[in-house]
Amino acid sequence: MAHMGYIVFVAIGDHAIIQESLVSLQSLLKVTNRNFWNSYAVLVYTDMPERYGLFSMNPNIIIETVSQQKAYSWTDGNKYKYKVKICALLDVLQRYNSTVVLVDTDTMFLSSPEALFEDINTNHIAILNYAENTLKQIVEREKLRMLPERREFFFLLYESGKLQYAGNTYLTPPEMEHWNSGVIGLCPAHKDLLLEALHLSDYIFEKYGLRTSEQLALSYVFQNKSALHSSKEVVFHYWPFQECRYMLENYFSRSFYDYPRQYMRDFVIRWIQQIRQWDIPYNLLFDLMVCILNYKRKQTQAWNYDFESDSFMRKIICDKNYFQNCLQNVGTYCDIKGYALSELLPCFEESDVL
């Protein structure tokens, strides 16, 4: 069956990444309807296909088994793991010749990604997650603490105003934005630019050893030669919030996983320990993560994050209706199990559910 586009996950070599992808998939199913699946499908590139048995009967979720040889090739001999994202995108574009939206596994869908596909197809623009900072902000922020290889790279761009490689010149003015690549959306017309970004990423990694080489290359190529739009209204990329990974590890392992505690307040650790003993279905994990992030925001007044000016964080944490919907789902589950809401969420009472 031909599809208009594909959502792509790459989950290779790490059980934690597999776990994240399972929950992200559930969040995608939660925000889409039958009309979406009449046109779009999911491709999961993985070396652990057996972990996706839950979706084996779903014809719209296609599991692509990645051999050890291919995984080795796509990571330059396990030297640079993020290269797999560009390699998987090229594989989809070459084999399926369709629009593709690759999503990191540590994500949750806030709404249907159909809007992203329409944006790509209608305007022929590229999609990345969001602009994290400008070149000027990077240089000013990291003048003192910057590692030597980062200093060499970013100061060169800042002082020269350009990056040159393989006959291409990429302008890098102080206001040049550096985008997070937790989401990458492209159409077949972008294939040559994606290949260019692959070569540039290889160059940056080999010369400077920067682990963000892949998203740096995507930022420079597509800002210079195309147009970029953000996906932050559709996909929440929770990479800065270690609670989410800690929670998933406890959920899947059913054992206490000693994640570095400097990332979390004690109340968060106690809360996660409390829920690990419950037989919670996949589709409730999304709601629980929203609840814990919402609670953390209220309890940690000095948390250094500007929620109000960040639309995608405001959606998942500050939007009272969105939060109430998630809390209501948890409350309904507790009613079915015959327990009080406060037993699963010690930080909330039944009165908190509108």
pLDDT per position as a tens digit, 39-55: 999 999 999 999 998 88
Phi, psi dihedral angles at 120 (to 5 degrees): -65, -50
**Cβ atoms of 107 and 160 closer than 8 Å:** no
Q: For residue 269, name the pLDDT band (cuts at 50, 70, 90).
A: low
- Pick the residue with more confidence: 353 or 38? 38
Q: Which pLDDT does position 267 carry in this prediction?
A: 55
Look at strands 177-186 and 126-134 and give their pairing: antiparallel
Name the segment(s) of the chain with CATH classification 3.90.550.10: 5-236
Does residue 109 register a pLDDT over 80? Answer: yes
* Separation of alpha carbons 60 and 39, rounded Å: 10
- Percent of the chain past pLDDT 70, that is, above it, reads 77
* Separation of alpha carbons 128 and 230, rounded Å: 5
Cα angle: 108, vertex 114, 117; to 5 degrees: 105
Extract the tokens encoding 22: 């399972």
Lowest mean pLDDT among 27-41, 78-92, 262-276, 313-327: 262-276
* Separation of alpha carbons 197 and 282, rounded Å: 36
* Separation of alpha carbons 215 and 343, rounded Å: 42
Q: Which pLDDT does position 166 carry in this prediction?
A: 92
Q: What is the mean pLDDT of the chain?
A: 83
Would you state the CATH architecture of domain 5-236?
Alpha-Beta Complex (3.90)
Q: Which of 348, 325, 309 is nearest to 111 (CA)?
A: 325
* Separation of alpha carbons 44 and 255, rounded Å: 27
Which H or E element spans position 40? strand 40-46
Give the pLDDT confidence of 138-195 residue by residue, as tens digits.
888 777 666 777 888 999 999 999 999 999 999 999 999 999 999 999 999 999 999 9
Q: Which of 198, 202, 189, 229 is nearest to 100 (CA)?
A: 189
Q: For residue 19, name the pLDDT band (cuts at 50, 70, 90).
A: confident
* Separation of alpha carbons 215 and 182, rounded Å: 9
Q: Which pLDDT does position 171 carry in this prediction?
A: 96
Q: For residue 232, name the pLDDT band (cuts at 50, 70, 90).
A: confident
* Separation of alpha carbons 232 and 236, rounded Å: 6
Rounded to two decimals, what is the model's pTM?
0.81
Cα distances (angstroms) measured from residue 224 to each of 19, 93, 295: 36, 21, 41
* Separation of alpha carbons 185 and 102, rounded Å: 6
